[in-house]
A and B are shown apart, each in its own frame.
Chain A
Amino acid sequence: MIQERQDTRLNWIAIWVTCKLAGLTALALLFVGLPIAYWLSFSRWRWKFLVESVVALPLVLPPTVLGFYILIAIGPHSPLGRLYGELVGHPLPFTFEGLLLASILYSLPFAVQPFAAAFDQVDRRAIEASWTLGVSKFQTFFKLIVPLSTAGLVTGAVLSFAHTMGEFGVVLMIGGNIEGSTRTVSIDIYDEVQALNYAGAAKTALFLLGVSYAVLLVVYAVNRNVWAAWPRK
């Protein structure tokens, strides 16, 4: 086994699992994150900060803590886990679906915060003008708010993609390390190093570094008028 892994080829299976996980997480967060961000940006509820803090929790919690609670929540002893087990026939932990759910929760702030920041920038007077022109709140969102927030939406999607690509602790807690199903690139690197295959680890690490850098290039290029590292005008 160790002998077999002593090569320096990239583990394409792990890369495919990782890309699939990151892509589906980013996609799911577009659907889950948009309504949450809309509510956070437009609600005038006085206790809104309570929800804002919950959304931001994954930023500060150790992934093991988050992973532990998700594991408990979806495990066979929880109502949610039992329901899933009865419906699908197998438990949620240590499957790709369980890992996807955990990734969505773990990357939530990386999507919701840029979305909400973009919505905050949209001129409230323009939104009101749209309403008085007879356009519903739902249509106003797609006709006016989304086109004005594209930079923030791209940023949120790309950051949640990138963040999922690099996650380790949560994957280990929820996904385990199943080849072709839950073994991601970051786990693969850890395994290579454990197996003293530094050459293989280096190649995979370089791949992850390249992808991460490319992703950040996209984010900064899209937002160069807002978040520029150098001052403009």
Chain B
Amino acid sequence: MAAEITIHLVKTFPGRAPIRAQIRYPVEGATVLILFGPSGSGKTTILRSVAGLEWPEEGTIRFVSRLWLDTASGVRVAPQDRHIGYMSQDYALFPTYTVAGNIAYGLSHLPSAERKKRVDEVMELFQLRGLEQAKPRELSGGQQQRVALARAVAPRPLLLLLDEPLSALDAPTRLHLRDELRSLLKQLALPSIIVTHDWAEALTLGDVMAVISAGDVLQVGAPIDVFSRPQNADVARVVGVETVVKGRVIEAIGGMLRVSVNGTTLMALEAESIGPDVFACIRAEDVVLEPGRASASSARNHLTGRVQAVTMLGASARVTLDCGFPLVAMVTRSTVDEFKLAPGLLITAAIKAGAVHLVSRQEA
């Protein structure tokens, strides 16, 4: 039997849409599941149910061979007995303990020599050396995040649960720690579930992604598939980015990056700490269509493409183009009429360099 995580639960809250989640996916060494959705969608409740901090009215939660919850047969495993690492959005460090004390907190079952060794090991891994005796309030946001993560992984949990791990940080730190977190997770070689509403985090960190909206799981799949091939309009609306393609940075010139995507060249603004392998992400609203073949305008990218499909969505229309890679544009109904957009038509898509978002990608 393949190792799997099964989450099936129903939980109701007064005055809110009930949460009905059904997620099942295979886990290997370090599989990262992303629970993605807007705030209030129920993703945190699902994570807390897996942690044993929230009790669904109905459901089954199974992690590999361990049954953690089964309301039908009355199985309710306490959070203490699930052997998980859990990190809440605000880190919830213990203010009366030092950094070393926080990390050692879950290790009281070990003899003191082993406990000390484990604390040292984890402090080293999370680059916290020198902060052993500091109190949480003396730390920067990034350091607090590392201590919280170190505390969660110190007892060697079976599964790591992170609730919006980067959202409490300021933007530059967040960008930097996103890549750091990815390599840490791979290094720890333990499966994890991460809640986020940030699509760049989902792409960078995730192996599997579940899109959640109003308590329902809309789609489960590899992040790039979910972003580039949303199952329906609801998923597309939730994820917000419709073109996600694999690319490779060729060169940097004058603050711009040339990215090759399946033979087509895209220009993007230079971003720091971006590896050669990237995802290029483009919002459908940022793609402007112009009649005929490419000509010059202020937009940096002019791609000639053939219309594949036109889907009317009320006053707007979703146009899929083939520009060497699939590109989705969102235009008004009058544009469709004016340009007589129909499958087979050759047209130009103009995209400003600033609208091409690059997210680093680990080559598997």
Contact = CB atoms under 8 A, between A and B. Distances in A.
Given A125-B92, A148-B95, A135 B53 contact: no
A143 interface: yes
**Residues of A contacting B: mostly:** helix
B92 A135 contact: no
Interface in B90-131: 90, 92-96, 105-106, 108-109
A134 B155 contact: yes
Contacts of A123: 92
Contacts of A130: 94, 105
Contacts of A134: 80-81, 83, 106, 109, 155
B93 A126 contact: yes
A132 B53 contact: yes
B165 interface: no
A144 B96 CA distance: 8
Given A133-B106, A135-B108, A128 B96 contact: no
A210 interface: no
A135 B109 CA distance: 10
A164 B33 CA distance: 58
Given A130-B105, A143-B105, A148-B95, A135 B88 contact: no
A131 interface: yes
Contacts of A129: 86-88, 92, 94, 151
A143 B94 CA distance: 10
B95 A128 contact: no
B195 interface: no
Given A133-B105, A134-B106, A128 B80 contact: no
Interface string A131-157: 111111000000110011000000000
Contact of B106 (A125, A135, A148): A135
A148 B95 CA distance: 8
Contacts of B87: 129
Interface in A88-142: 123, 125-126, 128-136
A132 B151 CA distance: 11
Nearest to B93: A126
Contacts of B52: 131-132
B285 to A, nearest CB: 37
Contacts of A135: 80, 105-106, 108
Given A147-B96, A148-B96, A132 B51 contact: yes
B95 to A, nearest CB: 7
B323 interface: no
B59 interface: no
B281 to A, nearest CB: 32
A185 B96 CA distance: 41
B105 A128 contact: no
B79 A132 contact: yes
B11 to A, nearest CB: 15
B85 A132 contact: yes
B84 interface: yes
A147 to B, nearest CB: 4
A147 B84 CA distance: 25
Nearest to A133: B106
B66 to A, nearest CB: 15
6 contacts: A128-B51, A128-B79, A129-B92, A131-B53, A134-B155, A148-B96
Given A130-B105, A133-B152, A134-B155, 5 more contacts: A132-B85, A132-B86, A134-B106, A136-B80, A147-B96
Interface of A: 123, 125-126, 128-136, 143-144, 147-148
Q: Which 7 A-B pairs have the closest CB atoms?
A: A133-B106, A125-B92, A132-B86, A126-B92, A147-B96, A131-B79, A125-B88
